[in-house]
Amino acid sequence: MNEIPWWRGAVIYQIYPRSFLDTNADGVGDLPGIVERLDYVASLGVDAIWVAPFFTSPMADFGYDIADFRNVDPLFGTLEDFDRLLAEAHRRGLKVMIDQVLSHTSIAHPWFQESRASRDNPKADWYVWADARPDGTAPNNWMSIFGGPAWRWEPRRCQYYLHNFLSDQPDLNFHNPAVRDAVLDNVQFWLDRGVDGFRLDSINFCYHDARLRDNPAKPVSERVGRGFRPDNPYAFQYHHYNNTQPENLAFLERLRALMDHYAGSTALGEISSEDSLATLGEYTSGRRLHMGYSFELLTEDFSAGHIRRTVNNLQAHMPDGWPCWAISNHDVERVVTRWGGQNAPPFLANQLTAMVCSLRGSVCVYQGEELGLTEADVPYELLQDPYGIAFWPNFKGRDGCRTPMPWNELPFAGFSTVQPWLPVPAEHSDVAVSRQEADPRSSLHGFRAFMAWRRTQPALRWGDIRMLETAEPLLAFTRSFDGETLLVCFNLSAESVDLPLPIDARAERIEADHLLQGELSAGRLHLPGYGALFARLPG
């Protein structure tokens, strides 16, 4: 058997540096804090860490507005701190992936400062500039994800510039070959430094329609999906022209060619388009991205039918590519609350981990998922997220999933010795790492137990998947690899179920610790509420 790349079937632990551990008493987490907790991360049984942006930034969007792609913001430490993080992670057998935000910069970036100064400077065409319409309005009808028009007037040039996100995040002009070269030079800087891969933020936003055509209107009935809030005008149109342009494919192939010079490196693309699953298939085919993920499992729909349809649709669009799944991250409500409600049982967290880590693909796990953290209720006066501030009270933003990691029962949950940048909710202190370490029945111990068991199951890590047609609330599928087939079943409801076994009744039940276990008997399957069953099928 050919050697399987490390990233296939990997579990990647996402660290949001601001909220992981503060070591210099400024209320914000930092790179030395990650180093200090690497033993904990390694103990989880994950394969890699993904570190969210730590680059020089004015922090308008908490690091996704980058002013220097090759340096560490003093808030997080120094380049030497990053090098130490890289070395210490590798010493523990952990791969290190970092964010790369290629489609835009901060308004504070020197490139933009030069570009905005005039229409005839060396970087005048490095960003997406356009003249106003005859009546002074924006060049077209494109909308920003964060609400309102995607164009901002710049009086120094008497032109508008494009920003698909905040106005502090101007879009680069990828139609300019000098921009593409400069972006790839930045990528190579981190490859030369020794990183193992990249999570590519909004990778389908690099190119825009060069003709600046208007996006067509979208019917009210179709204004659905992650990021398409009915109170946000971004949902009012099909985004055919402001992202996901065909020119992006050649750029991805060039990016892949660069990464192929660095053995073992991997590129994971974040994709949100009008047909994200089709785009995933396109972006991971041939010599493009190694992996891709979209937002289908980051929505509020927690049903067997939704998960089954998502997996089947992705399989149809991605016959040769490799998916990466996520059910939580720093941009959405925490999954235990989103799928389990305000009074979710504590054992739901372990079922959700087992479910997502049993699908075909790699997995991104967000810090705190191993603790079963719930969404925090951050009051308006303490909000930091500009998205939440703009859309309050209909949408409270992303702060509720970004609150500090609770390490112990000390003030501020051991995250810091001073008031953190976001408050630590009391209910999070109750499930702090120190408390869960002392409780063998905790979500934390369950997480570790499942990850250790999964490592012994090649079919779960690398196998093919076949979804089985079952009634709600049963999610069932098989994973097959190298002559072995596993049956995997989950009851996605709080009530126990007793159903016909969805496949050969001779299946042999396998013990998987720390899950509410189901039973096989006389051709029937019994699963407790939020229960699971793993069984080996006859060859």
Model confidence pLDDT, tens digit, residues 103-139: 999 999 999 999 999 999 999 999 999 999 999 999 9
Residue 193 has a CB neighbour count (10 Å cut-off) of: 14
Q: Using CA atoms, how far apart are residues 210 and 245, in angstroms rounded to an integer?
A: 10
pLDDT of 508 reads: 86
What's the average model confidence in pLDDT over 194-212?
A: 98
462 shares its domain with 380: no
Q: Do strands 159-162 and 324-326 pair parallel, antiparallel, or not at all (unpaired)?
A: unpaired
Instruction: Work out the pLDDT band at 223, boundaries 50, 70, 90.
Output: confident
Q: Using CA atoms, how far apart are residues 227 and 211, in angstroms rounded to an integer?
A: 26
- Asked about 201 being catalytic, the answer comes back as yes
**In contact, 207 and 179? CB cutoff 8 Å:** no
394 shares its domain with 489: no
The H or E element that residue 279 is part of is helix 276-283
Instruction: Work out the pLDDT band at 226, boundaries 50, 70, 90.
Output: low
- Exactly one of 22, 168, 201, 282 is catalytic; name it: 201
Model confidence pLDDT, tens digit, residues 233-242: 999 999 999 9
> Which among 407, 424, 449 is the end of a domain?
407
In a domain, 228, yes or no: yes
- Exactly one of 65, 171, 270, 375 is catalytic; name it: 270
256 shares its domain with 383: yes
Q: How far is CA 73 from CA 18, 207, 239, 351, 405, in A?
A: 11, 27, 33, 38, 21
Residue 74 has a CB neighbour count (10 Å cut-off) of: 10
In a domain, 234, yes or no: yes
**Tell me, what CATH number does 517's domain have?**
2.60.40.1180
400 shares its domain with 509: no
**Tell me, what CATH number does 305's domain have?**
3.20.20.80
Does residue 523 surpass a pLDDT of 90?
A: no
In a domain, 130, yes or no: no
27 shares its domain with 87: yes
In a domain, 138, yes or no: no
Q: How many domains does the chain have?
A: 2
361 shares its domain with 466: no
307 shares its domain with 384: yes
Nearest to 167 by CA among 132, 211, 118, 116: 116
> Which among 407, 422, 449 is the end of a domain?
407
In sequence order, which residues have a C-beta less than 8 Å from that of residue 180 and are 6 or more positions away? 174, 251, 254
317 shares its domain with 205: yes
- Domain with 224, as residue range(s), is 11-105+177-407
87 shares its domain with 204: yes
In a domain, 199, yes or no: yes
483 shares its domain with 371: no
489 shares its domain with 390: no
In a domain, 143, yes or no: no
In a domain, 129, yes or no: no
- Asked about 300 being catalytic, the answer comes back as no
Q: Using CA atoms, how far apart are residues 75 and 26, in angstroms rounded to an integer?
A: 9
In a domain, 217, yes or no: yes
> Which among 376, 407, 438 is the end of a domain?
407
Model confidence pLDDT, tens digit, residues 375-422: 999 999 999 999 999 999 989 999 999 999 999 999 999 999 999 999
195 shares its domain with 310: yes
Model confidence pLDDT, tens digit, residues 500-509: 988 877 888 8
